[in-house]
């Protein structure tokens, strides 16, 4: 037995008390790696070749590259789809979007396409004790038809698993051009109600079609309805003047919201879906980025987004949570150069190749439609490296569930946690890819595209869509650019691919 005098006893008690309060403090800063914070950073239309880490030489993306260089960089990473809505549907639900006939590019007035009883990433995480938030682009529909934008808009993100939501409803080029905070239009003046229609204009309201003199950005195809901030949009809108967003400030605005969210919730496990709007049209860089890329606004907004990501990462570091946060960085679909406005993207592209070594782009069944930058980053946990494992955003639900100790599974979502953590490089065996309601199949190094009617090229955007009267079969290992159709010379492989595809996709 150790004998202590009064002084010693007091000292020991004080020391123990000191330790205890320190212990408590540690516990509240969420250092339990079983429940790391999870952040999805999701780009809009960023192509495989748009980042220097993926081979771009004409543009420099140091902050995105830092994720790639400090994390696991996937070279066979996919969005499920070559457009936004279906990819985002799969990202959140772990379900192939072609199982839902409504998962296609939505107008700003479309109802919510995720069933409120559907399992989603944020719902699964809520069950595991996480607080969940989304900042940025939504584009999965809102309400249940005939939304009144002057009341709470519901159901929406908050009804499918997000405790907090601060979103743009559809796309930057679609009305309503306002932010929505937990269902309420941010900054709405009740005396100036908002009306939105995708059928007809409101009397007396100018449009891009009739009033080109009021536009500062010219439309190339589509995009000739209501004019907001000089930019003609898709759809008609009236009122809500005070609530309208400022396009050039959008990136800063979302960054601030994302940073606020992180600071507010750093002491508990949180999930943040930070969905940036770049480089989707209209490309409206803040003046401090305008002209910086030499590539016109498309390049400028990529630099802008890169800067935002750098600032966001600084916040994670400053708040001391970088070592306890898994970040998944990716993009919703492949690149498009002219997506409907004259914005110099084509003229100033120079030698830049947004689709990297791949054929096609946004809207396409060829590789560049869905093969996108895909990175997992977790300081101190993921050993930096590259992986050629076949991984898809649809796998995140089941994989994140495995990470946090949940048994939840998404319908088409595989547990690739070990791949995402860089422990294995196995990936999935096969994957069904989707582009504007058509589907194709990837298995091993092979890609098979069934015959489809329809134009070979979408002339407005100048992208090869992958349509052909004949089956297409490519060996991506030595032909990533999909130039040699091996369907005729390798009928056995073709048959195997078609059979496996039909087994999943149905007839
Ligand atoms: C298309 C738009 C395009 C873009 C896209 C959605 C026209 C002619 N084109 O219909 O500009 O908004 O929809 O992009 O309107 S996505 O990335 O959200 O899928
Ligand atoms: Ca997109």
Measured by CA distance, the residue closest to atom 10 of ligand 1 is 105
pLDDT tens digits, one per residue of 290-323: 999 999 999 999 999 999 999 999 999 999 999 9
Contacts of 26 (CB under 8 A, 6+ apart): none
Pocket flag, ligand 1, residue 233 (CB < 6 Å): no
d(CA 494, CA 324): 45
pLDDT tens digits, one per residue of 50-70: 999 999 999 999 999 999 999
On whether the CB atoms of residues 364 and 447 are closer than 8 A, the answer is no
Any idea of the CA torsion for 222, 225, 228, 232, to the nearest 10 degrees? 30
Contacts of 166 (CB under 8 A, 6+ apart): 133, 134, 135, 136, 179, 180, 181, 182, 186, 254, 257
- Identify the pLDDT of residue 196: 98
Ligand that comes closest to the CA of residue 332: 2
Measured by CA distance, the residue closest to atom 8 of ligand 1 is 222
Pocket flag, ligand 1, residue 343 (CB < 6 Å): no
Pocket flag, ligand 1, residue 171 (CB < 6 Å): yes
Q: How far is the CA of 337 from the centre of ligand 1 (A)?
A: 12
* Minimum-distance ligand 1 atom for the alpha carbon of 332: 17
Pocket flag, ligand 1, residue 339 (CB < 6 Å): yes
d(CA 40, CA 397): 12
Cβ neighbour number for residue 115 with a 10 Å cutoff: 12
Q: How far is the CA of 39 from the centre of ligand 1 (A)?
A: 26
- Angle in degrees, CA 92, 98, 104, rounded to 5: 75
Give the model's confidence band at 23: pLDDT under 50 very low, under 70 low, under 90 confident, else very high: very low
The ipTM value here is 0.99
For residue 15 the two structure tokens come to 């020391």
- Identify the pLDDT of residue 28: 40
Ligand that comes closest to the CA of residue 47: 2
Any idea of the CA torsion for 305, 311, 316, 318, to the nearest 10 degrees? 180
Which residues are paired to 342 by β-bridges? 218
* Minimum-distance ligand 1 atom for the alpha carbon of 460: 8
d(CA 10, CA 312): 46
Pocket flag, ligand 1, residue 163 (CB < 6 Å): no
pLDDT-wise least confident of 4-8, 15-19, 36-40, 267-271: 15-19
Pocket flag, ligand 1, residue 434 (CB < 6 Å): no
Q: How far is the CA of 272 from the centre of ligand 2 (A)?
A: 19
Q: How far is the CA of 339 from the centre of ligand 1 (A)?
A: 7
Give the percent of the chain with pLDDT over 70: 93
d(CA 173, CA 181): 19
Helices (H), 5-127: 6-28, 62-70, 84-93, 121-127
CA 53, chain centre distance (Å): 18
- Angle in degrees, CA 98, 74, 39, rounded to 5: 75
* Minimum-distance ligand 1 atom for the alpha carbon of 170: 18
Q: Kindly state the average pLDDT of the residues 421-449.
A: 98
* Minimum-distance ligand 1 atom for the alpha carbon of 44: 17
d(CA 267, CA 223): 44
Q: How far is the CA of 381 from the centre of ligand 2 (A)?
A: 30
On whether the CB atoms of residues 93 and 114 are closer than 8 A, the answer is yes
CA 159, chain centre distance (Å): 19
**Taking the alpha carbons of 441, 493, 477, 357 in that order, is the dihedral positive or negative?**
negative
Between β-strands 391-392 and 77-78, what pairing exists: parallel, antiparallel or unpaired?
parallel
d(CA 444, CA 390): 8
Q: Kindly state the average pLDDT of the residues 196-220.
A: 98
Measured by CA distance, the residue closest to atom 7 of ligand 1 is 222
Distances (CA, A) of 490 to 21, 39, 484, 487, 496: 69, 43, 12, 5, 10
95 three-state secondary structure: coil
- Identify the pLDDT of residue 4: 57
pLDDT-wise least confident of 28-42, 151-165, 310-324: 28-42
d(CA 87, CA 95): 10
Query: Which pTM value belongs to this model?
Result: 0.94
168 three-state secondary structure: strand
pLDDT tens digits, one per residue of 87-112: 999 999 999 999 999 999 999 999 99
d(CA 496, CA 500): 6
Pocket flag, ligand 1, residue 331 (CB < 6 Å): no
Pocket flag, ligand 1, residue 104 (CB < 6 Å): no
Pocket test for ligand 1, best of 79, 105, 345 (most atoms within 8 A of CB): 105
SS3 for 227-269 is EECCEECECEEECCHHHECCHHHHHHHHHHHHHHHHHHHCCCC
Listed residue (468, 469, 470, 474) closest to 490, CA to CA: 474
- Identify the pLDDT of residue 14: 52
| Exposure letters 178-209 (e unless 16+ CB within 10 A, then b) | bbbebbbbeebeeeeebbbbeeebeeebbbbe
Measured by CA distance, the residue closest to atom 3 of ligand 1 is 339
Which residues place a Cβ less than 5 A from the ion ligand 2?
44-45, 84, 332-333
**Taking the alpha carbons of 65, 71, 75, 80 in that order, is the dihedral positive or negative?**
negative
165 by Cβ neighbours in 10 Å (0-12 / 13-18 / 19+) ranks as: buried
């Amino acid at each position: 037995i150790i004998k202590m005098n009064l002084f010693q006893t007091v000292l020991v008690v004080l020391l123990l008390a000191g330790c205890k309060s320190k212990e408590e403090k540690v516990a509240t800063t969420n250092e339990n790696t079983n429940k790391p914070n999870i952040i999805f950073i999701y780009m809009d239309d960023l192509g495989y070749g748009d980042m220097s880490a993926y081979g771009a030489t004409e543009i420099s993306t140091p902050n995105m590259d830092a994720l790639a260089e400090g994390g696991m960089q996937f070279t066979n990473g996919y969005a499920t789809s070559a457009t936004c809505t279906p990819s985002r549907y799969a990202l959140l639900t772990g379900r192939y979007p072609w199982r839902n006939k409504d998962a296609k590019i939505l107008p700003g007035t479309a109802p919510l396409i995720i069933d409120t009883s559907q399992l989603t990433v944020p719902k699964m995480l809520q069950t595991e004790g996480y607080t969940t938030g989304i900042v940025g682009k939504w584009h999965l529909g809102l309400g249940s038809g005939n939304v009144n934008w002057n009341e709470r808009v519901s159901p929406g993100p908050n009804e499918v698993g997000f405790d907090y939501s601060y979103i743009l409803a559809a796309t930057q080029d679609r009305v309503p051009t306002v932010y929505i905070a937990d269902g309420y239009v941010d900054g709405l003046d009740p005396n100036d109600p908002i009306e939105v229609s995708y059928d007809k204009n409101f009397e007396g309201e100018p449009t891009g079609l009739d009033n080109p003199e009021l536009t500062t950005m010219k439309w190339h195809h589509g995009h000739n309805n209501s004019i907001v901030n000089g930019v003609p949009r898709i759809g008609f809108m009236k009122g809500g003047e005070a609530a309208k967003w400022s396009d050039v400030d959008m990136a800063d605005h979302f960054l601030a919201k994302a940073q606020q969210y992180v600071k507010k919730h750093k002491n508990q496990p949180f999930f943040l879906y930070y969905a940036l709007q770049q480089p989707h049209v209209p490309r409206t860089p803040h003046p401090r980025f305008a002209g910086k890329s030499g590539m016109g606004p498309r390049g400028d907004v990529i630099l802008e987004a890169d800067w935002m990501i750098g600032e966001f990462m600084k916040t994670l570091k400053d708040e001391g949570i970088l070592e306890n946060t898994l970040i998944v960085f990716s993009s919703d679909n492949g690149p498009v150069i002219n997506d409907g406005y004259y914005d110099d993207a084509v003229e100033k592209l120079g030698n830049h190749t947004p689709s990297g070594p791949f054929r096609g782009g946004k809207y396409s069944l060829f590789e560049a439609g869905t093969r996108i930058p895909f990175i997992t980053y977790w300081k101190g946990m993921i050993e930096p490296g590259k992986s050629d494992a076949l991984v898809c955003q649809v796998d995140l639900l089941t994989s994140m569930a495995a990470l946090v100790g949940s048994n939840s599974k998404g319908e088409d979502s595989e547990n690739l946690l070990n791949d995402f953590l860089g422990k294995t490089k196995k990936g999935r065996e096969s994957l069904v890819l989707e582009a504007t309601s058509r589907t194709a199949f990837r298995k091993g190094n092979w890609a098979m595209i069934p015959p489809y009617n329809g134009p070979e090229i979408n002339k407005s955007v100048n992208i090869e869509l992958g349509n052909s009267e004949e089956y297409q079969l490519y060996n991506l290992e030595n032909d990533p650019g999909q130039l040699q159709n091996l369907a005729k010379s390798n009928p056995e492989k073709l048959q195997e691919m078609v059979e496996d595809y039909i087994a999943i996709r149905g007839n």
